[in-house]
Structure 1
Amino acid sequence: MFGMIKNSLFGTSEVWPCRVLRKGEKDDVAYEEREYDGGKFATVELTGKPFDEALHEAVLKLLKYVGGSNDQGAGMGIMAPVCTTVFPGQDGSLQQKVKVLLRIPSQFQASPPLPSDEEIQIEEREGMTVYSTQFGGYAKEGDYVNYAAKLTSTLGNEATFHEDFYFCNGYDPPMKPYGRRNEVWLLKK
């Protein structure tokens, strides 16, 4: 537990490598089209719990893993963002199923430590192109649903993207009170 707290407060923070392909704004919604690198990710999948509760539980597991709860006892540092795959229902609300991803920091990409928690899986994922919009504050389910709807509406027929899932992203530790960064990503088809 101490390793997780130390890593969260004092650990290095690396940002998932990406390239901005284009920027746009329509109806007061700014967005970017970005291309993200693939790599190895620590993942936790949870079902049967409300979004905010599931996200909190999964993030704690992943923070423990990168904080040293692994076969090497390695404090790996933090990789931003914490990326959560969500599945909207017909009414736009989120189903009780999430998959939370944390990209393994660069120095551990070749050979990631094995998690002590059996619910954490290490996955190799391909690169992807997304449409992204950003917002601040302490994001909750309603904020992500709202911004996903805004981005979907803004893109309209101009872009093709997956509609059966999207990504909710948080960049900041919980103890950062101001200047918080959250994003919604729609995966380009």
Structure 2
Amino acid sequence: MLCVRTAFRHVHCSSKNLQTLRVSRHFTAYYWSDTETEPESRMFKAVKNFFSPEIETPEYSIIEQNEEYELREYTSSKWVSSQVESMTYSKAGSTMFWRLFKYIQGNNVKEQKIAMTAPVTMHVKPGAGPACENTFTMSFFVPKEYHDDPAKPKAEEVFLTEFPKRQVYVRSFSGFSNEEKWLSEAQKLAESLGDKDDFHKDFFYTAGYDSPFKLFNRRNEIWFIVKDQDKLSHDSDDSEHQR
């Protein structure tokens, strides 16, 4: 069972330049500003424009589809990732999101600005008990034009990840999500798969596709990874999502 205690909430960060905006009771938008008192109109524009309508996503084909889930096969792809051990999904997510955001804004060895992509995924590996810390790994998809030579991160806590071709069980749902909703939808996906035993049960992924300012037709997904297809390779570590 995943060890979580709170839903998405306002999280205070120690950096004076990290600003927050409450979007709904489930979601707080975080944005990076040059000053502590940036006008709300400029802040709104920065966050709203973060996700383009033509945002790039990883390529996949659909192998099986029904009302409850899809079985997809993704092509190999490269991602930039960060990892945190935490009791809560929301706190871990806000920390890692800004590490990765700074990477695509030029905090890499090439000082290269990289377009935002979707989905933003979170690999969730539950801890050993109810008072545990869970291991969360957030990833941004690297645009395909950079796959041959992606810029290496400057920050030690950010790393490049390669996903080989693999199959994934996917459950989609709409609306704003939070920890309780992610867990509920993961349970529904598990139930819909019945007696199938060909996927990993010790971790799962969440995937979000939308700007926090998008109110309608939001797209969220739960991913279960088919076994023997998810061996990842990092720059200096071949174990899955470890640094």
2:56 corresponds to which residue? Answer: 14
Q: Distance in 1 between matches of 2:187 and 2:181?
A: 10
Stretches of structure 2 lacking an aligned partner (at least 5 in a row): 1-31, 34-45, 228-243
Residue pair 2:104, 2:115 contacting (<8 A) in 1 also: yes
TM-score (norm 1): 0.86
Distance in 1 (CA, whole Å) between partners of 2:167 and 2:78 is: 17
What percent of counterpart residues are identical?
Answer: 28
Q: Alignment RMSD, CA only?
A: 2.6
Give the CA deviation at 1:10: 5.2
1:102-152 Cα offsets, whole Å, 9 max, x none, are 221111111111223221001222122111011112211111110010010
Matched, 1:82 2:120: yes
Q: Is the 8 A contact 2:119 2:209 kept in 1?
A: yes
Residue 107 of structure 1 is matched in structure 2 by 145
CA distance in 1: counterparts of 2:52 and 2:157, whole angstroms: 26
Q: Are 1:171 and 2:209 counterparts? A: yes
Q: Is the 8 A contact 1:43 1:102 kept in 2?
A: yes
Higher normalized strand content (fraction of residues) = 1
Q: Point out where structure 1 has 5 or more consecutive residues left out of the alignment.
A: none
Contact 2:125 2:204 in 1 (8 A): yes
Higher RCO (C-alpha 8 Å, min separation 6): 1
1:93/1:8 CA distance change after superposition, 3 Å: farther
Q: Quick check: which has more Rg, 1 or 2?
A: 2
The aligned residue for residue 219 of structure 2 is 181
* CA contact 2:86–2:136 (8 Å) conserved in 1: no
Q: Does 1:47 align with 2:89?
A: no
> Does the 8 A contact of 1:8 with 1:63 survive in 2?
no
Secondary structure of residue in 2 paired with 1:146:
helix
Give yes or no for contact 2:55–2:117 (8 Å, CA) kept in 1. yes
Q: More helix by proportion, 1 or 2?
A: 1
Total equivalences in the alignment = 184
Decide whether aligned partners of structure 1 residues 93 and 136 sit closer, same or farther in structure 2, where only a CA change above 3 A counts: farther
Q: CA deviation at 1:11?
A: 8.8
Q: State the alpha-carbon separation in 2 of the partners of residues 38 and 110 from structure 1.
A: 12
Cα deviation per residue 1:57-82 (whole Å; 9 max; x = unaligned)? 21221122112222222221122111
Structure 2 partner of 1:128:
166
1:140 to 163, 178, 187: 178
Going from structure 1 to structure 2, the CA distance change for 1:149 and 1:95 (only over 3 Å counts) comes to: farther
d(CA) in 1 for partners of 2:135, 2:151: 26
